A and B are shown apart, each in its own frame.
Chain A
Amino acid sequence: MNLLIQQTVNGLTLGSIYCLVALGLTLIYGIMEVPNFAHGHLYMVGGYVTFFMMTLYGLNYWVSAIISGIVLAVLGILLERLVFNPMRNSPSSNKFIAAVGAMLFLEASARVLWGSDFRSIPAIYDNVVVMGGVRLTEQRLIIIAGAVILMVALYVFIKHTMIGSTIEAMAQNRDGASLVGIDVNRVAMLTFAVASILASAAASLAGPIFLVYPGMGSLIIMKAFVIIVIGGMGSIPGAVLGSFILGLTESLGATYLSSNYKDVVAFAILVLILSIKPSGLFAKGAR
């Protein structure tokens, strides 16, 4: 029983990290209609920025995470301006290739600049808490709480502020958004900034438990894609639900089947859900 609870908490931790990355991916897909293959690599850069802020400049964990968020917001805006915006009227295959190019560029840059070593963000919250017979490090609780806070903040931003709702408006109807006077370029930059901040937050939260290395982006982007396909491309609730489904099945699958099958379980879930609901759990729907 304890093992079940333990693994459920681990699944929630994993789901929280996935969720922050997948939310950004789905937001960008919603307005650009193009999957941002480089999104996992923004997560990777976020991890490095936090790592260097702490180790090179000796900054506090939270300060480092905030700086990382700011740096990534700028990087996200640059990516939109330099890669996606010039491609806006191109066929989608060109956008795909551009996104893959951006991804390879970021990974190669990381290897050149920082090497291929595995690093770990110094853990400062590694005390073990015992709750109901389950042993957890504080960092895991921080990950879950942090993700929940950011999800609520994103929800409030999009549903209850005029600026935030422009993202949703543009995702639902680009012409309609232009005609009410929304500057679509500004919304595109805003969306990339928000999505990149979420990715960097995910990396800062995960860094003390998982490792920071140039290839970490490729792994998580695969998972994030599975999630937004499960949830329905462009859907925000779909991304949240998909993340926790994937996090929990991976964690429980690894325990009760075999950890070798961890990724197989994830893709089996994908096949299963898509065979029942081909457009995902929350399809964006017809326009």
Chain B
Amino acid sequence: MLKLSGINVSYGSYLALQDVNIEVNKGEFVVLLGANGAGKSTLFRTISGLLKVTSGSVEFKGQKTNQLPSFKVVELGISQCLEGRALFSHMPVKQNLLLGAYVRRHDKEGIKKSLAMVYELFPALKDKENALAGSLSGGQQQMAAIGRALMSDPELLLLDEPSIGLAPIVVQQVFDAVKIVNEAGKTVLLAEQNAHLALKVSHRGYVLENGRVVMEGRSDMLAGNEDVKKAYIGVSD
């Protein structure tokens, strides 16, 4: 469904991604592991069209997307939840969610259904629908950001470090919700540093280091790998 071939992305003379090849199939839950600065966010911004590749190509459902502006990418069915959430913090939660459905703004029925689905997934958002997004707790903001990304009814959901800065119990809730979304048929690509949980819920994974893919494989295999354990789980036996 999503295919990145030989991607290079640079900021000036600094090469942030080098010859990255990643493939995500329909219905999969794929995790992208990497430390700070490994290039996860750069990769996601590239898929969404916020950054342009210097060489290589991004294909979604057989169509090249690396020349498209981000709003076109969203229209094609890729929705991203940025690290740092990028909410409209001075707007009510409900307004944030409705803007998430901007690309299908004429589909009133569909929007209603998606809104009900998001509220079912994250009941806390229903209670806070009239509160300003900026006033929510970190966990609720993350839920709002994921909810907003789901409102466009995307085929592929990109989640950039949803666990960052959250209490472990909230991380668990968020991951459970993402798993439900994946099981309901949405393809998910998740960037994480929290490998322990991410590898539990995902099917496959890639490990990104200094802008290169250094390892890939099934999640259970990666979870058993000594290097991965040392670098991303923090326990080694």
Number of contact residues on A: which range applies?
20 to 34
Q: Chain B residue with minimal CB distance to A185?
A: B69
Provide the residues of chain B in CB contact with A287, threshold 8 Å: 89
Is A133 part of the contact surface with B, judged by Cβ < 8 Å? no
A179 and B91 in contact, given A162-B102, A166-B102 (Cβ under 8 angstroms): no
Interfacial residues of chain A within 173-226, with CB under 8 A of chain B in the complex: 173, 175-185
Q: Chain B residue with minimal CB distance to A162?
A: B105
Is A172 part of the contact surface with B, judged by Cβ < 8 Å? yes
Do residues A175 and B82 form an inter-chain contact, with CB atoms below 8 A? Answer: yes
Do residues A169 and B86 form an inter-chain contact, with CB atoms below 8 A? Answer: no
Provide the residues of chain B in CB contact with A165, threshold 8 Å: 91, 95, 99
Do residues A179 and B69 form an inter-chain contact, with CB atoms below 8 A? Answer: no
| Pick from A180, A184, A285: contact of B99, CB under 8 Å | A180
Task: Give bound CA distance, A54 to B28, whole Å.
Answer: 66
Provide the residues of chain B in CB contact with A250, threshold 8 Å: none
Provide the residues of chain A in CB contact with B49, threshold 8 Å: 178
Do residues A176 and B98 form an inter-chain contact, with CB atoms below 8 A? Answer: no
Do residues A181 and B88 form an inter-chain contact, with CB atoms below 8 A? Answer: no
Do residues B74 and A181 form an inter-chain contact, with CB atoms below 8 A? Answer: yes
Interfacial residues of chain B within 75-94, with CB under 8 A of chain A in the complex: 75, 79-82, 85-91
| Nearest-Cβ distance from residue B142 to partner chain A, whole angstroms | 14
Is A168 part of the contact surface with B, judged by Cβ < 8 Å? yes
Is B70 part of the contact surface with A, judged by Cβ < 8 Å? yes
Task: Give bound CA distance, A178 to B90, whole Å.
Answer: 17
Q: Chain A residue with minimal CB distance to B148?
A: A180
| Nearest-Cβ distance from residue B110 to partner chain A, whole angstroms | 14
Do residues A178 and B88 form an inter-chain contact, with CB atoms below 8 A? Answer: no
| Pick from B71, B81, B87, B91: contact of A178, CB under 8 Å | B71
Q: Would you give the 0/1 interface string for B138-152, flagging 1 where the beta carbon is closer than 8 Å to chain A?
A: 000000000011011
| Pick from B91, B100, B103: contact of A172, CB under 8 Å | B91
Do residues B91 and A180 form an inter-chain contact, with CB atoms below 8 A? Answer: no
Number of contact residues on B: which range applies?
20 to 34
Provide the residues of chain B in CB contact with A177, threshold 8 Å: 88, 99
| Nearest-Cβ distance from residue A115 to partner chain B, whole angstroms | 44
Do residues B152 and A172 form an inter-chain contact, with CB atoms below 8 A? Answer: no
Is B50 part of the contact surface with A, judged by Cβ < 8 Å? yes
Do residues A179 and B86 form an inter-chain contact, with CB atoms below 8 A? Answer: yes
Do residues A181 and B103 form an inter-chain contact, with CB atoms below 8 A? Answer: yes
Do residues B152 and A162 form an inter-chain contact, with CB atoms below 8 A? Answer: no
Provide the residues of chain B in CB contact with A179, threshold 8 Å: 48, 50, 70, 74, 79-82, 86, 149
| Pick from B71, B87, B103, B152: contact of A176, CB under 8 Å | B87
Do residues A181 and B152 form an inter-chain contact, with CB atoms below 8 A? Answer: yes
Do residues A173 and B87 form an inter-chain contact, with CB atoms below 8 A? Answer: yes
Task: Give bound CA distance, A172 to B96, whole Å.
Answer: 11
| Nearest-Cβ distance from residue A178 to partner chain B, whole angstroms | 4
Do residues B69 and A183 form an inter-chain contact, with CB atoms below 8 A? Answer: yes
Task: Give bound CA distance, A173 to B48, whole Å.
Answer: 16
Interfacial residues of chain B within 18-69, with CB under 8 A of chain A in the complex: 48-50, 69
Q: Chain B residue with minimal CB distance to A287?
A: B89
Provide the residues of chain B in CB contact with A178, threshold 8 Å: 48-50, 69-71
| Nearest-Cβ distance from residue A12 to partner chain B, whole angstroms | 28
| Nearest-Cβ distance from residue A127 to partner chain B, whole angstroms | 44
Interfacial residues of chain A within 266-287, with CB under 8 A of chain B in the complex: 285, 287
Task: Give bound CA distance, A179 to B49, whole Å.
Answer: 9
What are 17 A-B residue pairs whose CB atoms fall within 8 Å in the complex? A162-B98, A168-B88, A172-B91, A173-B88, A176-B82, A176-B85, A176-B88, A178-B69, A178-B71, A179-B79, A181-B70, A181-B71, A181-B74, A181-B102, A182-B102, A183-B71, A185-B69
Q: Give residues in A with beta carbon < 8 Å to B.
A: 162, 165-166, 168-169, 172-173, 175-185, 285, 287
